[in-house]
A and B are shown apart, each in its own frame.
Chain A
Amino acid sequence: MKFTEEHEWLRIEDDVVVVGITKHAAEQLGDVVFVELPEVGDTMTKDDEVVVIESVKAASDILAPVDGEVVEVNQALVEDPSMVNEDAEGNAWFFKLSIEDTSVLDDFMDEAAYQTFVG
Chain B
Amino acid sequence: MSDLNRTVFFDLHTELGGKIVPFAGYEMPVQYPMGVMKEHIQTRTKAGLFDVSHMGQVILRGDAPATSLERIVPVSLEALKEGRQRYGVFTNDDGGIMDDLMIANRGDHLFLVVNAACKDADIAHMQATLPDCEIEVVTDRALLALQGPSAEAALATIIPAAADMVFMDVAIFPSEFGDLWVSRSGYTGEDGYEISVADAHAVDFARALLAIEDVAPIGLGARDSLRLEAGLCLYGNDIDTTTSPVEGAIEWAIQKVRRTGGARAGGFPGADRILAELDNGAARRRVGILPDGRAPMRAGTELFATADAETPIGTVTSGAFGPSIERPMSMGYVTTECAATGTQIFADVRGKRMPATIADMPFRPATYKR
B333 to chain A, nearest CB (A): 21
Contact partners of A24 in chain B: CB under 8 A: none
Q: In the complex the two chains form, is A34's CB within 8 Å of B321's CB?
A: yes
Task: Identify the closest chain B residue to A33 (Cβ).
Answer: B321
A33-B321, A34-B321 known; A54+B296 contact, CB < 8 A: yes
Give bound CA distance, A29 to B342, whole Å: 33
Q: In the complex the two chains form, is A34's CB within 8 Å of B328's CB?
A: yes
Contact partners of A36 in chain B: CB under 8 A: 295
User: CB-CB contacts of B211-226 with A at 8 A, as 1s and 0s?
Assistant: 0000000000100010
B219 to chain A, nearest CB (A): 11
Q: Which of A30, A34, A54, A59 contacts B35 (CB 8 A)?
A: A30
A30-B36, A31-B37, A33-B321 known; A54+B295 contact, CB < 8 A: yes
Give bound CA distance, A93 to B336, whole Å: 44
How large, as a class, is the contact surface on chain A?
Answer: 10 to 19
Give bound CA distance, A34 to B329, whole Å: 13
Q: Which of A31, A34, A58, A59 contacts B294 (CB 8 A)?
A: A34
Q: In the complex the two chains form, is A52's CB within 8 Å of B221's CB?
A: no
Q: In the complex the two chains form, is B320's CB within 8 Å of A56's CB?
A: yes
Instruction: Select the residue from A31, A33, A54 with max chain B CB neighbours within 10 A.
Output: A33
Interface presence of A46 (CB below 8 A): no
A32 to chain B, nearest CB (A): 9
Give bound CA distance, A30 to B323, whole Å: 13
Interface presence of B298 (CB below 8 A): yes
Query: Count of chain B residues with Cβ under 8 Å from any Cβ of A?
Result: 17
A33-B321, A33-B328, A52-B350 known; A59+B36 contact, CB < 8 A: no
Q: Which of A30, A31, A59, A78 contacts B296 (CB 8 A)?
A: A59
Interface presence of B317 (CB below 8 A): no
Contact partners of B35 in chain A: CB under 8 A: 30-31, 56
A36 to chain B, nearest CB (A): 7
Q: In the complex the two chains form, is B221's CB within 8 Å of A56's CB?
A: yes
Interface presence of B330 (CB below 8 A): no
A81 to chain B, nearest CB (A): 8
User: CB-CB contacts of A64-101 with B at 8 A, as 1s and 0s?
Assistant: 00000000000000100000000000000000000000
Contact partners of A78 in chain B: CB under 8 A: 294
A57-B221, A59-B296, A59-B298 known; A31+B350 contact, CB < 8 A: no
Contact partners of B31 in chain A: CB under 8 A: 30
A30-B221, A33-B321, A33-B328 known; A56+B295 contact, CB < 8 A: no
User: CB-CB contacts of A18-49 with B at 8 A, as 1s and 0s?
Assistant: 00000000000011011010000000000000
Give bound CA distance, A58 to B37, whole Å: 13
B31 to chain A, nearest CB (A): 7
Give bound CA distance, A58 to B327, whole Å: 15
Query: Which residues of B (1-39) have their CB < 8 Å from a CB of A?
Result: 30-31, 35-38
Contact partners of A59 in chain B: CB under 8 A: 296, 298, 350
Q: In the complex the two chains form, is B350's CB within 8 Å of A33's CB?
A: no
B109 to chain A, nearest CB (A): 40
Contact partners of A34 in chain B: CB under 8 A: 294-296, 321, 328
Give bound CA distance, A101 to B323, whole Å: 43
Contact partners of B350 in chain A: CB under 8 A: 52, 59
Contact partners of B295 in chain A: CB under 8 A: 34, 36, 52, 54
Give bound CA distance, A115 to B30, whole Å: 25
Closest 5 interchain pairs by CB? Answer: A33-B321, A31-B37, A56-B36, A34-B294, A34-B295
Which residues from chain B sit less than 8 Å from chain A, CB to CB? 30-31, 35-38, 221, 225, 294-296, 298, 320-321, 323, 328, 350
30 contacts between A and B (CB under 8 A): A30-B31, A30-B37, A30-B221, A31-B37, A31-B38, A31-B321, A31-B323, A33-B294, A33-B321, A34-B294, A34-B296, A34-B321, A34-B328, A52-B295, A52-B350, A54-B295, A54-B296, A56-B35, A56-B36, A56-B37, A56-B221, A56-B225, A56-B320, A56-B321, A56-B323, A57-B221, A58-B298, A59-B298, A59-B350, A78-B294
